[in-house]
Amino acid sequence: MKIKVIHGPNLNMLGVREPEVYGRHTLDDINADLCSHAKKLGVDLTCYQSNHEGDLVDQIQQALTDGINGLIINPGAYTHTSIALRDAISAVAIPTVEVHLSNIHARESFRHVSYLAPVCLGQICGMGALGYRLAMDGLLNHLSCRQ
């Protein structure tokens, strides 16, 4: 089983950027925890981060060529603006779980709408770094039921 985690803009600043909102875990902490969890489950995991929308689209499209079974994406602010990411997820038709560290529905009104949610398997928000593990577990459960 191959899963790819895609982190969007500003997530490279975790641990520094607004820790009261996003927590004190760094992106390296989150990735290390996910890799450890994946190893225990026998999952081949890759992680990628970019602040550039086109790079994220390229990674989603490349996932199809790479035989990725599932995607986990935290699109950051692109959640609320990117039709391109939505279209890429829809185009590859790889089961995808959207993750947000904070509860986007309890924040500013412009954060309440996700362009990606309608083309994702599900959305996990407000659970901090744990949300990524929950996304992986849910995605693996979904994928195992499809086989």
Q: Supply the residues annotated as catalytic.
A: 22, 100
CA 90 to chain centroid: 15
Angle at 59 between CA 54 and CA 62, to 5 degrees: 125
In this structure, what DSSP letter does residue 116 have? S
d(CA 85, CA 7): 12
Three-class secondary structure of residue 44 per DSSP: strand
